[in-house]
């Protein structure tokens, strides 16, 4: 009897094992069971299960991501959906799974908004940056914006021909305003009916605000010559933050006086691509010069200064002079000869344009 009982128990256990195996291989309602891989692990589903059904059963929910603007800020949260792949390929939710299929969950990834590029013709051309002469280069501005946010990404000038020098000369004055010499130079220019450009130092403008306002009232252009006029090390070699601060502080002072400077002359003419970029980021074009009569040199006479200017001046010349920083009596005395000599050559005297030329009319989207 004991042997029969043992034998019977073995038979029962075997039957249970077979039943369990059969249930594993056959789904509910008699459907066969399929073996699939879900996120790297083996799993069983009944025959006929769709991708959507497997996602619901196993809780497969790809993470959604965001659409970002050109500055990395969220424009549309959760707009970039994730996906489920079957054997590494996209599949629809109704796809019926087969034995051996691999289901992979792919989360969404943040996406930057698309960019839109357009070209705008610049009427009259554009001054170079840095600017050495009174000239314009024909061409167009290539403007890039975010297609959704419309945020500006970049503006680049694309020339279409060589620079065209104007039949004009720009007199520029640095290192003022000086209570002693700036009023007298302004009076001389007014008497000669000549306009000029004054690159003023920020802290001196703060100390002499009425002189800056007088320059503006008389139709002169006022440009930025930094706040402190540092010379050691050369301005372009200053640490990036200090360089930017010098430009920005000078601009702030002049803006409070109504100047709204868009031109920047670095102390000593020290320039570099990094400096040009820093000034451009603050909306200012770097202006240098093509004629330097060294009126700052001790012992220079009015006759010598005038001769140096007139022997070098050409159509489009920018002349650097000084109304501050020392004894400027010789510069003052040389002005009538300089102005008359330039005009005898058939050249106009102009103040530099503080604003970029107006862009007109789209020419298409390259």
Q: Give catalytic residues, as residue numbers.
A: 174, 322
Dihedrals phi, psi of 189, to nearest 5 degrees: -65, -40
- How far apart CA 292 and CA 208 sit, in angstroms, is 26
Of 206, 189, 122, give the one whose Cα is nearest residue 158: 122
- ∠314-317-318 over CA atoms, to 5°? 155
Nearest Cα neighbor of 225 from 186, 178, 190, 192 is 178
Q: Give CA–CA dist 85/104, Å, rounded.
A: 5
Let me know if 166 is exposed, middle or buried by CB neighbors in 10 A (0-12, 13-18, 19+).
middle
Q: How far apart are CA 189 and CA 323, in angstroms?
A: 12
CA-closest candidate to residue 181, choices 211, 158, 151: 211
């Amino acid at each position: 009897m004991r042997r029969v009982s043992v034998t019977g128990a073995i038979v029962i256990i075997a039957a249970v094992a077979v039943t369990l195996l059969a249930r594993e291989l056959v789904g509910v309602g008699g459907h066969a069971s399929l073996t699939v891989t879900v996120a790297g692990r083996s799993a069983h589903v009944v025959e006929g299960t769709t991708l959507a059904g497997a996602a619901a059963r196993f809780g497969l929910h790809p993470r959604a991501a965001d659409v970002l603007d050109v500055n990395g800020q969220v424009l549309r949260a959760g707009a970039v959906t994730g996906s489920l792949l079957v054997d590494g390929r996209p599949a629809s939710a109704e796809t019926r799974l087969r034995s051996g299929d691999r289901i992979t969950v792919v989360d969404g990834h943040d996406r930057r908004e698309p960019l839109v590029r357009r070209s705008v013709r610049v009427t009259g051309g554009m001054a170079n940056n840095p600017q050495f002469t009174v000239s314009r280069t024909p061409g167009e501005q290539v403007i890039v914006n975010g297609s959704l946010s419309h945020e500006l990404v970049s503006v680049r000038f694309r020339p279409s021909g060589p620079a065209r020098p104007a039949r004009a000369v720009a007199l520029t004055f640095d290192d003022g305003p000086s209570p002693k010499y700036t009023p007298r130079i302004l009076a001389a220019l007014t008497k000669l009916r000549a306009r000029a450009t004054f690159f003023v130092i920020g802290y001196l403008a703060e100390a002499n605000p009425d002189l800056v306002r007088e320059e503006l009232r008389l139709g002169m252009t006022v440009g930025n010559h930094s706040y402190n006029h540092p010379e050691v090390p050369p301005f372009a070699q200053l640490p990036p933050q200090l360089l930017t601060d010098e430009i920005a502080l000078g601009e702030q002072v002049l803006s409070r006086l109504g100047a709204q400077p868009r031109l920047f002359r670095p102390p000593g003419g020290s320039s570099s691509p990094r400096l040009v970029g820093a000034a451009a980021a603050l909306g200012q074009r770097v202006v240098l010069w093509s004629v330097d009569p060294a009126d700052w040199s001790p012992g220079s006479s009015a006759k010598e200064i005038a001769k140096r200017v007139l022997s070098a001046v050409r159509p489009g010349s920018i002349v650097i002079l000084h109304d501050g920083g020392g004894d400027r009596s010789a510069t003052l005395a040389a002005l009538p000869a300089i102005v008359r000599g330039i005009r005898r050559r058939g050249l106009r005297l102009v103040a530099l344009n503080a604003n970029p030329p107006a862009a007109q009319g789209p020419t298409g989207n390259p």
